[in-house]
Homo-oligomer: A and B are copies of this chain.
Amino acid sequence: MNTEMLAMILAGGQGTRLGKLTRFTAKPAVPFGGRYRIIDFALSNCSNSGVNTVGVVTQYQPLELNAHIQNGASWGLAEKNAGVTVLQPYASSEGEKWFQGTAHAIYQNIAYIDLYSPKYVLILSGDHIYKMDYEAMLAYHKAQHASLTVGVLPVSMDEAPRFGIMNTDETNRIVQFEEKPKHPKSNLASMGIYIFNWAPLKKLLMDSYSTDGRMEDFGHDVIPAYLNRNEPTYAYAFHGYWKDVGTIKSLWQANMEFLEPDNPLDIDDRNWRIYSRNDALPPMFITETAKVHRSMVVDGCYVAGEVDHSVLSQNVKIGTGSVIKDSMIMPNAVIGKNVTIDHAIVGERAIIGDGGQVIGSDDDIAVVGFQEVLGRMEEDK
């Protein structure tokens, strides 16, 4: 087997900042935009970029993520000598292997990567919403004769202190990396997307673990080492829509932005589709008592109430007299009658009983957790 570039999606995070939404699932399996889960974006980008061998590294509550990914066929990634492999911790004759950081997770999966003898390894995060052509980034990587290319996003100088910032020379070569600099010298924020030449990265990791200098994290350990050793390390600027949805606030915001008709994510673009697993669901049913505006609705929804500026996911039920406003409702949630939901995220399989109220604000998004039950339903045939 021989694959030019293999992708490793780091989907291991527990996503504690997403609180109740990730108590029983890994962050990349969190629903987004009515029809998707967060990891669909990275997987679809891989598929559309012709990267058809993908390892998904996870160690936290993998059941739903596994059931979602299956063999990768939903993203066109189930080919012979390629495909999606979910990589979990395992025991070897040297002992049990947990992942201690981004770079350590790659180190622990060297045997998997070597199965495909890739020339390049693309490192991705499983919790970003964006559309990006990794093939174009690889072409850039080759043109620069780089050993490492880092995907960067130009941000405003105001925001720059919140990010890892890459300072580059006039050829885009990275000369310095600063984690959350108080006085940033550049506005190029690391997206956590890397293309490495596999051979030198593998050597670096193996050397580091055979000595004391363990490289656990790409940002903290590996990039500084590359700069130190004067490895050709370049920045590749991405200019499209990109959102880290690692917090309740940013997840809510990204869903609200998704509702904008001119959202730069352009989900309808048939030349860069976002794929997802498809369930067998009936079409959406909008009853005689419904009102739906400025909203996204999908298969399996049953809407008898009012939905305004909100995202409804698959199989959501909204009872009569209820009002859903500026909210994101996750799959299989059931909202009773005369419920008010405003500035909220309602988790998968949650149940909001009749007359319930879930009201947040711009600064404090209300959250109902996975399978959480609030109040009770009236008897109803």
Residues of A in contact, count (CB < 8 Å): 29
What is the interface of chain A mostly: helix, strand, loop, or mixed? loop
**Which of A56-64, A163-171, A227-235, A291-299 sits within the interface?**
A56-64
For A56-90 the 0/1 string (1 means CB < 8 A from B) is 00111111001100110000001010010100111
A14 to B280, CA, bound (A): 40
A96 touches B93 (CB 8 A): no
B59 touches A91 (CB 8 A): yes
Closest partner residue, chain B, to A66 (CB atom):
B85
Could you say which residues of chain B place their CB within 8 Å of the CB of A98?
91, 96
Closest partner residue, chain B, to A22 (CB atom):
B93
Q: Does A157 contact B (CB under 8 A)?
A: no
Could you say which residues of chain B place their CB within 8 Å of the CB of A14?
91, 93
Also in contact, A90 and B92, with CB within 8 A (given A71-B70, A71-B71, A115-B63):
no
Also in contact, A60 and B90, with CB within 8 A (given A70-B71, A71-B70):
yes
A63 to B59, CA, bound (A): 15
Could you say which residues of chain B place their CB within 8 Å of the CB of A88?
62, 88-90
A280 to B83, CA, bound (A): 17
Q: Does A112 contact B (CB under 8 A)?
A: yes
Also in contact, A60 and B23, with CB within 8 A (given A66-B85, A71-B70, A85-B66):
no
Could you say which residues of chain B place their CB within 8 Å of the CB of A139?
none
Q: Does A143 contact B (CB under 8 A)?
A: no
Seen from chain A, the residues whose Cβ lies within 8 Å of a Cβ on chain B are: 14, 23-24, 58-63, 66-67, 70-71, 78, 80, 83, 85, 88-93, 96, 98, 111-112, 115, 280
